[in-house]
Amino acid sequence: MGAMSDSTHPTPPSGLRRREVITGGAAGLGALVLGTRAVAAARATIPPSARIAASCVLSPEMTEGPYWIDEALTRRDVTENVRGMPLVLRLTVVHATSCRPIRGADVEIWHAAPDGEYSGFDGSSGTRYLRGHQKSDAAGRVRFDTVFPGWYRGRTPHIHLKVHAGGEEVHTGQLFMGEKVTRAVYRTRYYASRGQADTSHASDMIYRDGGARSTLRIRRRSGGRKGYVGRLELGVTT
């Protein structure tokens, strides 16, 4: 797999779809945080056993990008033997207005490999590494075992995702990593030969749509295990 450049990227579709752009109204809604009283009232209706640290924030919508592939690979481990820094994604899907976890939501991720390539666009249409789906459990949680995403020209490193609930697509977004962690990872084996990413968060217009609300909370794995764990809550409307 060779590193991508802008010249190898497929041209994104020209049609404007809900999941590709944010209308003025949706952008405003995406920034909505419920008032303190509303949050307290919502949480009061949730049994203590089901309560989680919900922020009741609608996750920002972001572009799907040109590398999505319609597939149904339900699996926790999406690496397909791609080598890189291990990254465990732990995501929680909740209703943005009630903070209640959503059971059975279909969460899909896809992202670039350490060399900057996406499966299916690496010269071999049959590849599907670093892509997969998971169904959320009773607490709204899903887990993916993957590797830290690589970078390609013009974008800050990121992970794409979609959420479906009740048979409908309810969220299309992207996940980001803190730049300090990213720089450290890119100095390690499997990444160092490509150097550091050429685009910072501040220079990435798509990152600006999500910012901290779409940035994973990352820590090193415990028990001496190599890699990182990234967590984020996804607030959606159904």
Of the pLDDT bands very low, low, confident and very high (cuts 50, 70, 90), residue 238 is confident
CB atoms within 10 A of CB 39: 16
Q: Which residues of 78-96 are buried (b: 16+ CB within 10 A; e: fewer)?
A: bbeebebbbbbbebbbbbb
Tokens 């249409």 label which residue? Answer: 125
Look up residue 194 and give its amino acid. Answer: R
The closest of 41, 100, 135 to 238, measured between CA atoms, is 100
Going through the chain in order, the beta strands assigned E by DSSP cover 86-95, 106-110, 131-135, 141-147, 158-165, 168-176, 217-220, 228-236
Quote the pTM value.
0.78
What does the pLDDT look like over 127-164, one tens digit per residue? 999 999 999 999 999 999 999 999 999 999 999 999 99
Of the pLDDT bands very low, low, confident and very high (cuts 50, 70, 90), residue 56 is low
* Per-residue confidence (pLDDT) for residue 146, from 0 to 100: 98
Domains, the chain, ordered by start: 18-236 (2.60.130.10)
Q: Could you tell me how many helices (H) and strands (E) the chain has, helices first?
A: 4, 8
Of the pLDDT bands very low, low, confident and very high (cuts 50, 70, 90), residue 124 is confident
Of the pLDDT bands very low, low, confident and very high (cuts 50, 70, 90), residue 77 is very high
pLDDT at 40 over 60: no
The closest of 212, 218, 216 to 60, measured between CA atoms, is 212
pLDDT at 34 over 70: no
